[in-house]
Amino acid sequence: MAADTVVYDRLAETALPCDLSPQVELHSVGKKKGHHPVQQEEINTLLVRLAQQGKRVVRLKGGDPYVLGRGGEEAEALADAGIPFEVVPCVTSGVAVPAYAGIPVTHRQEVVRVTMVTAHESKKEGGPQVRWDLIGADPHVSLIGYMGVTSLPQVVEHILESGMDPKMPAAMIERGTTSRQRVVQSSLDELPQAVEKEGLRPPALFIIGSVVRHADKLDWFGKRPLIGERMVVVAPVGEMGEALEMNGVELVEVPLPVTPAARVVMGALPLTGCIFRSPDEVEAFEEERDSQGWSPEMVAWCLTPDTTTRARDLNWLQVEQISDSPAN
């Protein structure tokens, strides 16, 4: 990544390159439900200011910047200031997240239209911009709702009142595409209760439509044997890393010395383990163990006897010795 500074959202934290030079400025402008420490107007101003200082700026966003991501607003601010820019299209989470849950958003002769909405449209005063009446009357549409946890009951109420089948398949997906992905499936009328029962929290999106019925058959991601594991390893990792990722591990490859960007990535989601190939690697991460994302329950997976001994000497609570062979 050729940049002098990176301005990134919370949902893009795991996408930061861990080997990003420490000289690159990092600006977090992430939003959480009910907590927007940096308002959109401030983000626009920040992008303009950094560019006017002659810096190469990367604006890193989750999903596609132009699909319900306010990328258009930010690009307009740059255009108004006379600043040239480039937009890199990506796969929007409304397509990528269902795919990771085994749900195609369209299916020939079954679902031929897709409607993407920000679910809080259902709670807007003065009337929503979404035509719930048209969506509810259409059995051949996939309705995908971003930021949909708290607004889900209102959305379901609107589309049931508009005539959608109460037993239409539906799903809510939490932290899709990550090691913390969770999926709840049910019929449309029971989805709010099912989501509440399982305790799903933002970030999450929902999909309502007959395509959800394919999820169990097409769930390639959730069936991997090591799904849910998020491990740190010193880069480069080689064939062992490929084998771990193929089996479902979310692998965080970190350079030494540890960079600021790597600390952001490691802290983005809870870590479950750390793979050590030498005693030096155990010692290199000693100062990181109190950081965001780390916990005393993490497993030290050690590839040699002396590495195992060093991890135990440094009071790792769970230490396992393994082989570095991809076959094992």
Residue 164: helix, strand or coil by DSSP?
coil
CATH number of the 93-218 domain: 3.30.950.10
Architecture of domain 5-80: 3-Layer(aba) Sandwich (3.40)
The pLDDT assigned to 34 comes to 56
pTM above 0.85, yes or no: yes
pLDDT given at position 127:
64
Q: Give me the residues of the chain with pLDDT under 70, please.
A: 1, 31-36, 122-128, 324-328
Could you tell me the residue ranges of all domains in the chain? 5-80, 93-218, 230-321
pLDDT at 324: 61
**C-alpha pair distances (Å), 170 with each of 97, 187, 272:** 14, 6, 30
User: Which member of 31, 61, 64, 138 is catalytic?
Assistant: 31
Please report, in angstroms and rounded to a whole number, the separation of the first and last CA atoms in the chain. Answer: 34
Looking at residue 119, what is its pLDDT? 75
| CB environment 177-193: b (16+ within 10 A), e (fewer) | bbbebbbbbbebbebbe
**Predicted confidence (pLDDT) per residue in 103-134, tens digit:** 999 999 899 999 999 977 766 666 668 899 99
Q: Note if 189 is an active site residue.
A: no
CATH number of this structure's domain 230-321 = 3.40.50.10090
Clarify whether 290 is annotated catalytic. Answer: no
Closest C-alpha among 263, 252, 270 to residue 288 = 263
